[in-house]
Amino acid sequence: MEEPTCYPTFSLCYSLLFGRLSKSCPVRTEYRSGPSLSWADALSRSASLKATILVVALLFAPHVNSQSLDEVAEDILHSDLPIFGRGGENEWPQHFYDDGSFGCTSRVAFGDWSFRKRGAAVEDNVLWYRFSNYGVFHCWANTSRAYERDKLDGADSHPSFFALLDRASVNGHDVELWTVQIGARPGSEYVLLSRTPAEGLIDTFTVLQTACPRANVRDAGSLDILLTRYCVVASRGELSRLARRMAQRPPLGTLTRVRADDKTKDEVHE
C-alpha cells in the first residue's frame, strides 16, 4: 500500500527561516511506495538543504518594509475612503460655467494612454489606460486599464480624478507632483505622477516609484502565489510627502497619451 511522502515546500521553509511557522504550515504531499519521510526528518538529515533554502528565500522573498534606494518600489497605494473629488481647485475634471454653456473640463487630456516602465523595450511591458469624460452634469473621468489596447473597450471602468499635489525642486529643476485617484468604493487607488510645469493640455506624465513608509504597510503574507501587501494612505498630505520623496528617485516609467489613429505600439513615442 502506498503511503504519503511529505516534502517541505518553499512556504514552509520560508516560515522556518523568518519565524512565521505555525501548526498549519502547508506541505506538498506526493504518493509514492516505500516508507514515509516527514518534513522535520528531511530538514534534520540535510544541512545542505537548509543552506539552499536560505539562499532561495533571500533571492525570492517578497518586499520588506525597508526598501533600498536601488530597489524599484511599486507598492500599491490605497485609501479606505476617496481623498479627492469634492471640487477642489487643483482637481480635474471640474465643472465650468460661462454665458452660454456648462459642463466638465480637464487639464489632463482624455483618450488612450500607454504606461511603459523605464528601460523596457518598445514592444514590452505596456499597460494601457483609457481616461474618458463621464458627462456634463457630473464631473469625473472614467478610467479603464488593459494590457492590450483593443481590450480597453470591454474593460471595467472606475470613477477617477487627477489632482495637483504640490510643486518641488528635483536636481535644480522645478516639477509638479500629481496623482490620479482611481475608484471610489471600496476606497481608492493612487498612481504618483510628475511633470515639468507647462501651459496647455497635459498629455504626458512621469510615473513615480512608490516605496511605502514602514508604518503604512499592510501585509497579511502571501496566499499561495498571491501577494497581499499594499500601502495605506489617508490624506492629501501623506500623498504629497510620499511624492516628494519618490521624485528624488529614478522614475518608474512614463505615461503618455496616444493619438486615436495610432494603432501600433512602436509609434507610441512618436
Which H or E element spans position 239?
helix 236-246
pTM: 0.72
Q: Are residues 27 and 96 in the same domain?
A: no
Q: Are residues 106 and 214 in the same domain?
A: yes
Q: Are residues 34 and 81 in the same domain?
A: no
Q: Are residues 81 and 56 in the same domain?
A: no
From the number of C-beta atoms within 10 Å of its C-beta (0-12, 13-18, 19+), residue 220 rates as exposed
In a domain, 221, yes or no: yes
Amino acid (one-letter) located at 126 = V
Alpha carbon distance 96, 80 (integer Å): 29
- Ordered DSSP codes for 112-161: EEEEEETT--TTSSEEEEEEEE--SSS--EEEEEESSGGGGGGS-EEEEE
3-class SS of residue 187: coil
What is the domain extent for residue 7? Answer: 3-60
In a domain, 71, yes or no: no
pLDDT tens string for the chain (270 positions)? Answer: 444 444 343 333 333 334 443 333 343 334 344 455 555 554 455 455 444 444 434 444 444 444 555 689 999 999 999 999 998 889 999 998 888 898 999 999 999 999 999 887 766 679 999 999 998 899 999 999 999 999 999 999 999 999 999 999 998 999 999 999 999 999 999 999 999 999 999 999 999 999 999 999 999 999 999 999 999 999 999 999 999 999 999 999 999 999 877 654 444 433
Q: Are residues 164 and 135 in the same domain?
A: yes
C-alpha cell at 50: 537548509
Q: Are residues 192 and 224 in the same domain?
A: yes
Strands 230-232 and 77-79, by their bridges, are parallel
3-class SS of residue 16: helix
Domain count within the chain: 2
C-alpha cell at 29: 504531499
